Amino acid sequence: MTKKPKKDLIKELALELDALDNMLASLVELLGEKGILTQEEWEERIKAKIEKSKGKTKYRDIQF
């Protein structure tokens, strides 16, 4: 197995992140259209999770 250049790996990761971003945005839009979740509720949920996780050791910190 040959190693990919670092630039190729970064581009591949960026494409994956773009795909995940599109998938998440589509899901939130669909939930909003169905009246299940508002943009404000979603943003508040994210903010709460970020605040809750502050100060905790992250898995990536341990792994890398």
3-state class (DSSP) for residue 55: coil
End-to-end CA distance of the chain: 23
pLDDT band at 64 (very low <50, low <70, confident <90, very high): low
pTM of the model: 0.68
Based on C-alpha coordinates, what's the Rg of the chain? 17
Average the pLDDT over 37-53 and give the result: 94
* The pLDDT of residue 39 is above 80: yes
Residue found under tokens 């792994």: 63
pLDDT of residue 62: 81
Q: How confident is the model over 13-31, as a mean pLDDT?
A: 95
CA 40 from centre of chain? 18
Closest C-alpha to 15, from 5, 7, 4, 27: 7
